[in-house]
Amino acid sequence: MDRSGPVAFDEAFVQGLRQNGYVVGQNVTIEYRWTEGKSERLPTLAGELVSQKVDVIVTAGAASVRALKAATTTTPIVMASSQDAVADGLVASLARPGGNVTGRSVYAPELTPKRLELLKAALPGLSRVGILWNSQNPGGLNQFREAEAAGSALGIGITSLDARFPDDLEKVMARAAQVGAAAILTLSDSSTITFRAEIAAAAHRYRLATMFSNEAYLAGGGLMSYGPDLAETFRLAAAHVDRILKGANPADIPVEQPSRFELVINLKAAEQLGLTIPPSLLLQADKLIE
């Protein structure tokens, strides 16, 4: 995991453990390993955890799961959050994962089109959106293609902003502004959550509205998010850990998906951008940040 990710995720997971009868320091011990924003450390950290002979490893994101799968085929791995776990090759299927990986997936094909629809509702006349993504993320290309198809259906031009974080942010935001984009849709991965504040700040400098995949990103100053509650996802992942510790085989534990998605609007960010969010959209919001 990345220590610079929201602390709420770790707290939610620990809460989930308590709800399943585990108290850290009493009947369960957690060994933490952090990438510190450097994905190249993943293989080394994965090897360290496997050598510790832990009972189960909890992580998030395709890159982390891939590193762990390369390090062990026997130690159970629980994805506290993943994108398209099947397309990314992390599990054989959601119903029967196979191998040593199970957990939770936050991917749904309708999310990207919905996020673009919400951006268009917030910005009447929106004609172009920049898609900020990391092509090194195994699932990024599928999500980008979804955005292209959804943009075409909505009459919105799509510009690819493939970036290395955080070094390329200024360059890609300037490019988005130059081609006439009024908004940025950020595809979720470990890099974008780590550098969420830098993404929002760079977008603000170019007067670009931002849409993210969940509320955790808005702590960095983004405008809107639509997606599952990731803290809840981490809390529920503890139930997978409980089943494994009680003897269940991860190959037979279905990968679960969220059943509810929420729209969050950051009114402070809207004010900074000089935007007036339409009342109809405010009424749709599950949460307003003021």
Per-residue pLDDT tens digits for 36-50: 767 789 999 999 999
Q: What is the pLDDT of residue 148?
A: 96
Give residue 252's pLDDT band: very low, low, confident or very high (50, 70, 90). Answer: very high
The helix/strand/coil state of 270 is: helix
Mean pLDDT within 179-206:
92
Give residue 127's pLDDT band: very low, low, confident or very high (50, 70, 90). Answer: very high
- Phi, psi (degrees; rounded to nearest 5) at 264: -125, 130
Beta strands across the sheet bearing 209-212: 157-162, 128-133, 183-186, 209-212, 224-227, 262-266, 287-289
Q: What is the pLDDT of residue 108?
A: 84
Q: What is the pLDDT of residue 199?
A: 96
Name which of 41, 51, 55 is nearest 1 in CA terms.
Answer: 41
Q: Is pLDDT at 211 greater than 80 in this prediction? A: yes
User: What count of Cα atoms within 13 Å lies in the side-chain half-sphere of residue 221?
Assistant: 15
Distance separating alpha carbons of residues 156 and 71, to the nearest angstrom? 43
Write b or e for each residue in 144-169: b if 16 or more Cβ atoms lie within 10 A of its Cβ, otherwise e.
bebbbebbeebebbbbebebebbebb
Give residue 6's pLDDT band: very low, low, confident or very high (50, 70, 90). Answer: low
Structural contact between residues 237 and 210, judged by C-beta atoms closer than 8 angstroms: no
Q: What is the pLDDT of residue 90?
A: 93
